[in-house]
Amino acid sequence: MPQQERHGLTALSLFSGGGGLDLAFDRAGFEHVASFDILEICGATLRRSRPGWQVFSGPGGDVGKVDFSRFSDDVDVIHGGPPCQPFSIAGKRNGGRDKRDMWPAFVSAVLRIKPAAFVAENVPGLLDPKFNQYVDEVILKPLEANYRVVKFSLLASDFGVPQVRKRVILVGFESRKSAQRFDIPKPTHRTRDDLFSLPIPTMGARAALGLPDIGFDCFSPTLRSGFTGPRKSTSILNSKASQLIWDRLRIWPNGVQKTREMAVAFPPENGHFRLSIQDCAILQGFPEDWHFEGAAYQILGQIGNSVCPPVGYVVAKSVSRALNGCSGR
């Protein structure tokens, strides 16, 4: 993610988490306005990695209770990933009945601030037929009164991330011209035969972690968030099927350690490679100079809940190109 020159566009982050989209928009040349997250530990991560940023966390970061009118003249793009648990196949999938559903708060913030564009991210389950009515009535109907909305899915591995991870992106533009200029990001890395013309392949998990060649490598399974499942779990294992992949990779997905030194000091009995949180951050596409705060399970929660930064980066660049000269600010 080469740092792009500042182009004068500003971005405000909602549900910032570990900062995947925040970092992506920063690297894409946007000026940071503010970040909001209800978890104090997420605020600590953002402040550590970007000490100069305005960050609101804890009660002050509760997106559902913030008066966003004070930002109405300062923000070109709002971006964020409302909590995905209400729509994830890993949960009960209660959608709008889940108290963690924050889509109404995201929509309200967009309508209050009225940015030139917005970017929202969520799990593929959001677009399952069972949620069609919810998406149409709660998300699209209120936003499409003022915005031209594009929905699409992106694979993290198509953008250099060594992980099987698919996400749904919603992008909306206030201006028709900006919407017409927006291009859904195309893959930047070779991952399959139909992308053979791309010169750079996405590395497998072992190669990305610098592990020795064992005659087999592939993308890692989707990393499970440490904020879900058993309390304070330090496992990134998200299913029994993914265990088979980790076994073939000879990587131990349980008991992730806070440092690489600790991971080396406590090797699994089967001799597989034990992951550290730094290794998980690499598998998610974070650069090594992005620093996370908290206990191991809290850091895994921030990593696993984050947008893969390289994915957010290509979206942010495409949005900036579409808005170039059309932001009106």
- Cα–chain center distance at 64: 20
Mean pLDDT of 88-102: 54
pLDDT for res 224: 87
pLDDT at residue 229 is higher than 80: no
Does residue 133 share a domain with residue 21? yes
Does residue 161 share a domain with residue 91? yes
pLDDT for res 193: 83
Mean pLDDT of 66-74: 90
Does residue 155 share a domain with residue 48? yes
pLDDT for res 275: 97
Mean pLDDT of 8-25: 96
Q: How confident is the model at residue 325 (pLDDT cuts 50, 70, 90)?
A: low
Residue among 187, 289, 216, 302 at smallest CA distance from 256: 302
pLDDT for res 326: 45
pLDDT for res 225: 79
Any domain includes 328: no
In angstroms, rounded to a whole number, what is the distance separating the alpha carbons of residues 105 and 124? Answer: 20
Q: Domain tally for the chain?
A: 2
Q: How confident is the model at residue 230 (pLDDT cuts 50, 70, 90)?
A: low
pLDDT for res 256: 95
- Please tell me which residue in 84, 218, 280, 326 is annotated as part of the active site: 84
Any domain includes 200: no
Any domain includes 197: no
Across the chain, mean pLDDT equals: 90
In angstroms, rounded to a whole number, what is the distance separating the alpha carbons of residues 87 and 85? Answer: 5
Q: Whole domain around residue 160: which residue ranges?
A: 10-190+307-323
Residue 84 annotated in active site: yes
31 forms beta bridges with 10
Any domain includes 164: yes
Any domain includes 198: no
pLDDT at residue 128 is higher than 90: no
Does residue 214 share a domain with residue 162? no
pLDDT for res 219: 97
Please state the pTM of the whole predicted model. 0.92
Any domain includes 280: yes
pLDDT for res 99: 59
- Phi and psi at residue 227, in whole multiples of 5°? -90, -5
